Amino acid sequence: MRAPGAEHGPGPIAVAQNPRPGGSSSMIGLKRRSPGDLRRSGLEGVTAVALIGSLAGCGRPVEPIDPVAAIDAAAAGEEAVLATDRPTALIAESVPEIRAVLPTAPQPSSLAVSADGRLLAVGDKRGVALWDLEPPAHRATLQGQPALVSAVAFDPSGRTLATVGYESSPEFAAVLMRWDTGALGTGRVVLKSPDQIATMRFSPDGSTLVLGTEDEEDAGRVAFLDVESGELEVLGATLKTTVSRLAVAPAGDRVAASSWRTVNYSDQGELVLFDSSSKEEVARPGSGIGRINDLAFSPDGTTLAVACQRPGGEWTVLRFDAATGAAREPVDTPSVEVSSLAFSPDGSLLAMGAHDGAIRLLELGSGAMLQGPSYHRGAAVLLAFSPDGRTLLSAALDRQVALWDVPLLQKTGRAGASAAGKE
């Protein structure tokens, strides 16, 4: 890995860098404490344990942090905060479109909703908090989870939760664990790696865990972990820097990976499509695009949406054919940075979270862009729909997770669009 520098791309395990005025916090790479070597047949010094049960979900990086420095500081008492020292009371709000607002301790790094819509897991640099959603109430904070969590994921039954956190003793390592949500106790280590796991996704059947990482030459890598055998396969195709975003198509036939880095004050993004069966590269769409904030496949698996900068620097949501990588008509978005994306389960809506905190819904049938009422006071960096599509969860840098009533949000957005059209 390179020593941290401005030319390096983002990753959830990164050295803190001052936020750019008017923009999201940028991230640069972390120099490992111990050597690691990603190889096609496995990882040197990595222990892989079979993961019982199928998993699904992803984690997305948010806050630029140096995990080694943060862990060492906490051990020295500089930031000694117990995982249980976090707010758990619901936040009062007066926005009718919001069902409830949940607090997070520091800024959230990842979230996941169980397949039955009953549980929410929120990861941050203090650990993982588990919430009941019906009705909203704090259930537990995981004990024994290494801090600086970059990813959380539920299995399809909702009875198993997988997490990725980081430890620095005796050596720096990314630690993937699994938890029984019905009887939370000591988590079980599934994978321990000396390399960053910048992001992760699971195949739809839960048999394979897709990892985004980098090798010792700082090239971004995509790896497939068989959760039954523990066998790890690292793909030959590389990206220029750490894979910071992953998306897996609903049918499991395609994987999209992205990274970006800053070179000479210019953000340069890279997007790669892989065939999940052959493990071969299919396409590198979006030539010349800048920073990439998020990726999402449509529920029918035909379209890949990408929140990114155009070559000229303006923000947009590009769309590509998921099978070939061919460009499709981009989304006509307002001139604001799009920080996060999520398709509704029925494919009728594309939700967008903005750097200014705004939540917008694109009605894919009519093409109407609906804006919700103002609420978040920081970038809306994580989005997720409930399985029934009636609730949209938005996690923002104001350290709050809002539960939006989607039908009411649509109604308000349509009324606002109609009023604007009459002016």
The parent domain of residue 165 ranges over 1-89+109-236
Residue 366 lies in a domain: no
The confidence score (pLDDT) of residue 421 equals 57
Residue with tokens 């460009």: 327
Instruction: Tell whether the model's pLDDT for residue 22 goes beyond 70.
Output: no
Residue 197 belongs to some domain of the structure? yes
Alpha-carbon 351 to chain mean position: 15
**Alpha-carbon dihedral sign for residues 182, 175, 238, 109:** positive
Q: Give me the percent of the chain exceeding a pLDDT of 90.
A: 46
Q: What is the number of domains present in the chain?
A: 1
Range with the lowest mean pLDDT among 37-51, 74-88, 188-202?
37-51
Model confidence band, residue 137 (pLDDT cutoffs 50, 70, 90): very high
Q: What is the mean pLDDT of residues 33-53?
A: 31
Structure confidence by residue, pLDDT tens digits, 179-192: 888 887 778 888 88
The yes-or-no verdict on residue 62 having pLDDT over 50 is no
Q: Other CB atoms closer than 10 Å to residue 299's CB: what's the count?
A: 17
Residues 6 or more apart in contact with residue 306 via CB below 8 angstroms:
258, 271, 286, 289, 292, 294, 295, 317, 318, 319, 320
pLDDT of residue 420: 62
Tokens of 18: 């001052």
Average pLDDT (281-300) is: 94
pLDDT at residue 44 tops 60:
no
The verdict on residue 186 lying in a domain is yes
Q: What are phi and psi of 361, to 5 degrees?
A: -120, 125
Which pLDDT score is estimated for 296? 97
- Domain assignment of residue 302, yes or no: no
Residue 31's pLDDT is: 34
How much is the average pLDDT of 303-314?
Answer: 90
Q: Look at residue 139 and tell me whether its pLDDT is greater than 80.
A: yes
**Percent over 70 (pLDDT), the chain:** 78
In a domain, 96, yes or no: no
Q: What is the CATH number of the domain that holds 161?
A: 2.120.10
Element (H, E) at 410: helix 406-422
Closest CA to 32 of 78, 73, 66: 66
Residue 150 lies in a domain: yes
pLDDT attached to residue 318: 95
Answer whether residue 275 is part of any domain: no
For residue 418, name the pLDDT band (cuts at 50, 70, 90). low
Buried/exposed code over 26-38 (b: 16+ C-beta within 10 A; e: otherwise): bbbbbebeeebeb
Residue 73 lies in a domain: yes
